Each structure stands twice: as C-alpha cells, then as structure tokens.
Amino acid sequence: MDILLMRLQAPLLSFGAPIIDRHGVIQAYPAQSMICGLLANALGYHHRDAELLQRLQERIVYASRQDRKGERVRDYQTVAMGQDFMLDERAWTTRGQLEERGGGNKTGTHIRLRDYWADAAHTVAVTLTPADEAPTIEALAEALQRPARPLFIGRKTCAPSEPIYLGRTQAESLLDALKAAPLARGVSTPARCEAWWPSSASADEAPGIFRQPVTDQRDWANQIHVGQRWVARGHLMIGHSKE
C-alpha cells in the first residue's frame, strides 16, 4: 500500500466539528473533509471545482495518530455591526452574490466563539482508492512539498509550524504506517498515542477499541456536511520494546 505521511503541527490548529449556533467547536482528530480540503488546497483546487473535490474526498482513506494532545483554548470574538462602514444593507458573499442583512445582529454586536488546539501534533497516514486514478499519492506528495497556495490546518489562521509533508512509505495498513512513523519533536519514546482509523458498523475490533459513526464528509457542491462513516478509536504503542 502506497501511503502519504503528514505532520499536522501548529501553535494553534482547528479540527472542526459541527458548529453549534455561534460556537465553532473542535474534535480530537482531523475530519475527512478537512484532509480533503488541505490536499485540494495544495493541488490548487478551488471551491468551484466541486466534482474534483468530491471525487478526491471519496478516494481518501486515512488514519490519524495523536502525538501530542495540546490544550483546548477558546477565542472570544465580537464585531460591532453598527459601525459606519458596516451599515450598508447589502454585502457580497463568498458565493459571489449580494445578500441583505437582517435579524437580531443587524446593528448590534455579533458574538461568536471559536475553539482551537494549542501546541498539538498529529501524524496522519493517507492512501487513495483506487490508487492509479489522478491525482495519485505521488502527485499529492509533490503538491504538499510545492503547494499551489499557502497551507493551513483547519482555519486560515492556523499556519503549520513545520512542513506538513512527512514522507511516503509502503505498509500493509495505515496503522502499520503510523506505528513506524516518527513521533513529533519533543515527544519522548516510548509513547502510548491515541489514534483513529476507518472502521465499519460490523467490524470485529479488538477489545478496548471503540467505534462510532461520524458525519465528516462534505457535499462540496452544496457546501454542507452529509453522510455517515464509522471510525475506530484506540491506542498505538510507539517505540516500545517487543521483548
């Protein structure tokens, strides 16, 4: 199996989960849509390339290892909507359409919360199915080393603190690749790392492995999250002696 290894490490990073009202919450591992968006950004895809984005997401199979959990922090954001330069009744949206303002925040103060992981580090193993369709793992590796645009981890403010591209490897499985991948700098061995990988509703996982359904795949044409897949959660022993 041809596998791409990535290191997701930053002073602040965001593994977005479903937003609740004005609260942008995070989850413990990167969503499939985030991995797709990161790779698509490196390739130079645009939001209008919905078919390319959808197909890339369908082909991505990945697992994530938490090298360093980090600390959850919350950004409290306010915008005074009554400022003179913001009183125009209409504004352009990212969809290229004019939209009129309304609701309770028309001229009031808009408050929202955004969560982040501070000083976290994850190692991610990615493969593609089928492997011979474009873009290939080789193309993704090239794009991460020479990205079409600056890369970020979750939100645009989350610039990586080191190159995202960690390397390519051949392994029997994604978990085997993660077991062999080096830990993030500053993490001592041996280490017991939490990990997440693809599963199924009927999978016969080992004792101590938890499975849950998640909705983290994006409908790129309609810009909403849809569907359901199963994810397993357990621990990987890194750098432990086999004796």
Q: What's the average model confidence in pLDDT over 123-127?
A: 99
Read off the pLDDT of residues 22-51 as tens digits, 9 standing for 90 and up.
Answer: 778 899 999 999 999 999 999 999 999 999
Largest CA distance in the chain: 70
Proportion of the chain above pLDDT 70, given as a percent: 88
Domain that holds residue 41: 2-74+116-238
Tokens of 240: 């432990």
Give domain status of residue 92, yes or no: no
Does residue 94 carry a pLDDT above 60?
Answer: no
CATH number of the domain to which 27 belongs: 3.30.70.2660
Supply the pTM of this predicted model.
0.87
Q: What's the average model confidence in pLDDT over 107-135?
A: 92
Quickly list H helices, 14-49.
32-43
Give domain status of residue 108, yes or no: no
Report the alpha-carbon distance of residue 7 to residue 68 in Å, rounded.
11
Give domain status of residue 44, yes or no: yes
Give domain status of residue 146, yes or no: yes
Give domain status of residue 93, yes or no: no
To which residue do tokens 């849809």 refer? 226
Name the helix (H) or strand (E) containing 73.
strand 71-80
Does residue 210 carry a pLDDT above 50?
Answer: yes
Report the alpha-carbon distance of residue 209 to residue 205 in Å, rounded.
6
Give domain status of residue 110, yes or no: no
Report the alpha-carbon distance of residue 8 to residue 233 in Å, rounded.
18
The residue with greater pLDDT, 47 or 112, is 47
Among the residue ranges 76-80, 89-93, 212-216, the one predicted with the least confidence is: 89-93
Read off the pLDDT of residues 140-150 as tens digits, 9 standing for 90 and up.
Answer: 999 999 999 99
The residue with greater pLDDT, 227 or 99, is 227
Among the residue ranges 43-52, 71-80, 173-182, the one predicted with the least confidence is: 71-80
Does residue 98 carry a pLDDT above 60?
Answer: no
Give domain status of residue 230, yes or no: yes
Number of domains in the chain: 1
Give domain status of residue 79, yes or no: no
